């Protein structure tokens, strides 16, 4: 009976999702926007070999990228905990790399790496490592100070502290990052296939988009969503088997020494210097063709001293303003929807198993297949673009906030139960404060995700903004403009990230000071 009870709500959620899908297809019949379940099932049954070969190729590349990206994230987090002075430099460099727009780095990687699966695997790894790194760093810091004091009392160093204490405390956050990363890896592999691959789901997507084959596009979206849902569920099942301990109480740590103004200036300067050095070093590698690979001085010259510098700046500014109009509303809407739904699911637990399958399905559908359809349905204006940006931000926020609220200390919840405090009081005084580190982690990693979403939409559908500019620059081999656009997007992402991090420090200094102590 218990097994039936646990399977029933998710099954009902799936049934409701299919029924809603069928109803939408019936309402829009003849509009060439939505293919119903029967049409999609018929197309899959008629093309199992074609779909199977493409899925196998994309799934292999996505899996390799998923493993590589997450291993890099775990390694970087470990290094940052063992050598804390490197934390800001590591997280800053990781942010810069993650902020590189996939639609620009894809063509560049294809030129530099040539044919084969290399660009797909690299883009899949780039799409996931940061979504694991940020929650993992949050979890590694969510450690009671008394545990660390016990390790130090036995004369052990940071390595023992990391292995025996911090790693165990970080496991819930690691699993949250892995669940968020599963759909992102598939998206990264498909974007890599958009840049000239010979086989894969991305190749089929381009083919069927050009042919306006709506049932085929929906079939690809459904299969991609199903794969992502299976991986998401498998990671969640492993988490339930591994995580048994109740979250500990984390008392406020001792106040550290205040960071001086000189140190605050030194850290960004060091990061900028490291980025420039690595950029120059990368361009100096053997085999780098200067026609494709542009150095910092090439980009600076294109924006300042080149004959067309004024036109280049005007073009970039126009594209940037077109992108910014949709970015902020979609980002804020996604954060609020994700956090709000997470709170609702904790207040009414029975809804979770019903709603989560629908939420996972909607997020797991790759944006590169659904963006054209959604924009055609909602229009090329603000509503369609903002909705897609919000969808990209919504799911990571939902998953992170759910995991964050589960970290509410059991002992404090027991005290509230003794005094018969209701769920609303528990939510306001315990669960939301416990959720804040995870919420801000999601807010930080959603900054580049939102920019990725808006540029992909501009690339595939609207024909405006930075996304369209980068795609056009790559198609006409204007690599000065392409690298300049990448530099602008990365800079804007880093500045927005810094703004979110500043708000985070002020709030977590009160509610979770272990996350911001020097």
pLDDT tens track, the chain, 518 positions: 444 445 555 566 667 777 777 777 777 666 566 778 888 889 999 988 888 898 999 999 999 999 999 999 999 999 988 888 888 888 888 888 887 766 667 777 777 777 778 888 888 898 888 888 988 888 888 787 777 778 888 888 888 888 888 888 888 888 888 888 888 888 788 877 877 777 888 888 888 877 878 888 888 888 888 888 888 888 888 888 887 776 766 655 555 555 555 556 677 777 788 888 888 887 777 767 777 778 888 888 888 888 888 888 898 898 888 888 888 888 999 999 999 998 998 888 877 766 776 676 666 666 665 666 666 666 666 777 788 888 888 888 888 888 888 877 777 887 888 888 888 888 888 888 888 888 988 888 888 878 877 887 777 667 778 888 887 887 787 888 888 888 888 888 888 888 888 888 888 887 777 666 65
pTM of the model: 0.76
Helix (H, G, I), strand (E, B) or coil at 250: coil
The pLDDT assigned to 76 comes to 92
pLDDT value of residue 336: 92
**Pick from 181, 185, 192: nearest CA to 102:** 192
The DSSP code for 516 is: T
Q: What is the pLDDT of residue 71?
A: 94
- What pLDDT, on the 0 to 100 scale, is given for residue 3? 45
Torsion sign across C-alpha atoms 460, 463, 465, 468? positive
Q: Look at residue 16 and tell me if it is in a domain.
A: no
Residue 24 lies in a domain: no
Domain boundaries, position 212:
32-250+259-515
The pLDDT score that the predictor gives to residue 213 is 82
329-to-334, 338, 382 alpha-carbon distances in Å: 9, 14, 9
Around Cβ 406, how many Cβ atoms within 10 Å? 17
**Both tokens assigned to 424:** 């609303």
Query: Taking a C-beta distance cutoff of 8 angstroms, is the pair 405, 435 a contact?
Result: yes
Distances (CA, A) of 1 to 6, 437, 470: 9, 38, 56
Q: How far apart are CA 328 and CA 55, in angstroms?
A: 34
Residue in the structure block whose two tokens are 């990781």: 94
Q: Is residue 5 part of a domain?
A: no
Asked if 316 contacts 482 with a C-beta cutoff of 8 angstroms, the reply is: no
Confirm whether 417 is domain-assigned.
yes
Q: Give the number of domains in the chain.
A: 1
What are φ and ψ of residue 304, in 5° steps?
A: -125, -55
HSE-up (13 A, CA, CB side) for residue 221: 27
Using alpha carbons, list the distances in angstroms from residue 465 to 216, 318, 321.
Answer: 29, 7, 7
Residue 25 within any structural domain of the chain: no
Q: Determine, yes or no, domain membership for 171.
A: yes
CA 468/CA 460 separation, integer angstroms: 8
Q: Determine the Cα–Cα distance for residues 236 and 359; give it in Å rounded to an integer.
A: 15
Question: Quick check: is 2 in a domain?
Answer: no
- Contacts of 506-511 spanning 24+ positions with Cβ under 8 A: 507/436, 507/440, 508/436, 508/437, 508/440, 511/433, 511/436
The pLDDT value recorded for residue 381 is 66
pLDDT for position 469: 85
**331 belongs to a structural domain:** yes
Predicted pLDDT of residue 5? 45
Question: Pseudo-torsion of CA 470, 471, 477, 479, nearest 10°?
Answer: 20
Q: Which residue has the tokens 């996604």?
A: 334
Q: For the chain, what percentages of helix, strand and coil (3-state, to nearest 5) are there?
A: 80, 0, 20
What is the torsional sign of CA 372, 374, 377, 381? negative
Would you say 429 and 405 are in contact if contact means Cβ atoms under 8 Å apart? no
Do the Cβ atoms of 151 and 165 come closer than 8 Å? yes
């Amino acid at each position: 009976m218990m097994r039936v009870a646990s399977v029933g709500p998710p099954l009902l959620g799936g049934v409701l999702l299919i029924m809603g899908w069928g109803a939408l297809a019936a309402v829009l019949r003849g509009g060439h926007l939505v293919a119903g379940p029967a049409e999609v099932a018929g197309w899959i049954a008629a093309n199992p070999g074609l779909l199977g070969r493409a899925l196998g190729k994309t799934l292999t590349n996505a899996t390799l990228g998923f493993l590589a990206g997450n291993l890099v994230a775990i390694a970087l987090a470990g290094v940052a905990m063992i050598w804390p002075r490197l934390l800001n430099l590591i997280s800053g460099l990781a942010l810069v790399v993650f902020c590189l727009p996939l639609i620009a780095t894809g063509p560049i990687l294809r030129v530099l790496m040539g044919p084969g699966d290399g660009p797909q695997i690299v883009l899949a790894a780039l799409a996931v490592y940061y979504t694991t790194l940020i929650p993992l760093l949050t979890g590694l810091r969510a450690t009671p100070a008394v545990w660390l004091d016990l390790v130090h009392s036995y004369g052990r160093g940071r390595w023992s502290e990391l292995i025996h204490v911090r790693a165990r405390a970080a496991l819930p956050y690691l699993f949250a990052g892995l669940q968020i990363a599963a759909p992102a890896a598939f998206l990264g592999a498909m974007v890599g296939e958009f840049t000239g691959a010979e086989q894969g789901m991305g190749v089929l997507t381009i083919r069927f988009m050009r042919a306006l084959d709506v049932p085929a596009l929906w079939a690809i979206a459904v299969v991609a969503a199903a794969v992502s849902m299976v991986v998401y569920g498998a990671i969640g099942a492993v988490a339930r088997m591994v995580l048994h301990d109740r979250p500990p109480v984390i008392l406020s740590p001792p106040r550290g020494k205040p960071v001086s103004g000189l140190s605050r200036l030194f850290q960004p300067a060091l990061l900028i210097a490291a980025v420039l050095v690595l950029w120059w070093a990368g361009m100096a590698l053997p085999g780098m063709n200067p026609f494709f690979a542009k150095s910092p001085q090439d980009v600076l010259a294109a924006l300042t001293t080149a004959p067309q510098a004024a036109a280049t700046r005007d073009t970039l500014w126009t594209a940037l303003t077109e992108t910014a109009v949709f970015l902020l509303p979609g980002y804020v809407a996604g954060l609020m929807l994700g956090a709000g739904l997470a709170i609702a699911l904790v207040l009414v637990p029975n809804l979770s198993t019903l709603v989560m399958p629908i939420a996972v399905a909607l997020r797991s559908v790759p944006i590169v297949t659904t963006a054209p359809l959604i924009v055609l349905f909602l229009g090329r204006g603000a509503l369609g673009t903002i909705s897609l940006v919000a969808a990209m931000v919504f799911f990571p926020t939902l998953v992170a906030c759910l995991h964050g609220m589960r970290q509410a200390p059991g002992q404090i919840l027991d005290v509230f139960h003794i005094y018969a405090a209701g769920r609303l009081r528990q939510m306001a005084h315990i669960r939301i404060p416990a959720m804040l580190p995870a919420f801000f982690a999601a807010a930080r990693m959603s900054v580049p995700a939102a920019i990725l979403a808006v540029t992909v939409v501009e690339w595939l559908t609207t024909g405006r903004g930075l996304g369209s500019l980068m795609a056009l620059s790559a198609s006409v081999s204007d690599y000065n403009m392409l690298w300049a656009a990448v530099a602008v997007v990365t800079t804007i992402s880093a500045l927005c990230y810094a703004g979110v991090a500043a708000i985070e420090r002020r709030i977590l200094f009160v509610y979770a000071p272990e996350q911001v102590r020097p």
